[in-house]
Copies of this chain bind each other. A is one copy, B any other.
Amino acid sequence: MREIFRQEMQQLGDDLLKQGREAARSMERATQSLKDANIALAEQVIDADKRIDALERNLDEMGISVLARQAPVAADLRTVVSVLRISSTLERMGDLARHVAYVARGRYPERVNSGPIYDLLVEMAEHATVVGQRVAQLLDTHDLSLAEMIEEEDNVLDALHHKSFSLILDESLDLSRQEIIDAVLLARYMERFGDHGVSIARRITFLVTGHIAERDETIREIAEAAEEQR
């Protein structure tokens, strides 16, 4: 029973990582499709979203099945619940990458925007790509320095999002209404992508440090039990 349980927990982790890598790759490709007006890449992002959604549904069923049959407690329970939540956040990140790809596809064969706003949007897309990559690495390694990096990238995204409004409001820049719509939406998608990355970073941090707290609690209990026996 325990052996099966361990295998199932491993499978949940592996599938979540797979979903994280798909979401990261989608934002990478969406960014490239914006930069090169590359419609083939945009289509790949749109297709990949179906796989990301399917992975969420699988993780959902597997997670609930583990809860029902194994009734995990303490750290294992928190892990299963976190997997369900992180998976649903990754599904949203996939959606956002798809929205970016839709904009790129909608303007093809032109590039989305030009001038300083184009530069800003590409910069945001590149930071969002880094968020996606760091999230995938964090799911793989649980190295909490990655969680800090994600928070930093998100701060940069927030600042750039703020700057996007100043640029759009700068009447010295010649912008069509379509360019304004695209810039407002793309900047919002990237900013949300960063927020979702932070939400995953915080969940993993809580899981890892929660584990540490539980281990410390066990050590304390053992020490107290030893104390009583003297």
Contacts and interface: CB of A to CB of B under 8 A. Distances in A.
Most buried by B among A74, A78, A175, A181: A181
A168 B181 contact: yes
A144 interface: no
A179 to B, nearest CB: 10
A18 B42 CA distance: 42
A85 interface: yes
Interface string A71-104: 1011001100100110010000000000000000
Interface residues of chain A: helix, strand, loop or mixed (majority): helix
Q: Which of A74, A88, A178, A184 has the most CB of B within 10 A?
A: A184
Please give the count of copies of this chain that the complex contains: 2
Contacts of A73: 68
Interface string A174-185: 010110110011
Given A68-B74, A68-B77, A177 B185 contact: no
Interface in A40-89: 64, 67-68, 71, 73-74, 77-78, 81, 84-85, 88
Interface in A161-179: 165, 168-169, 171, 175, 177-178
Interface string A5-24: 00000000000000000000
13 contacts: A64-B81, A67-B67, A67-B77, A68-B73, A84-B84, A84-B85, A85-B88, A88-B88, A171-B177, A177-B180, A180-B184, A181-B184, A188-B188
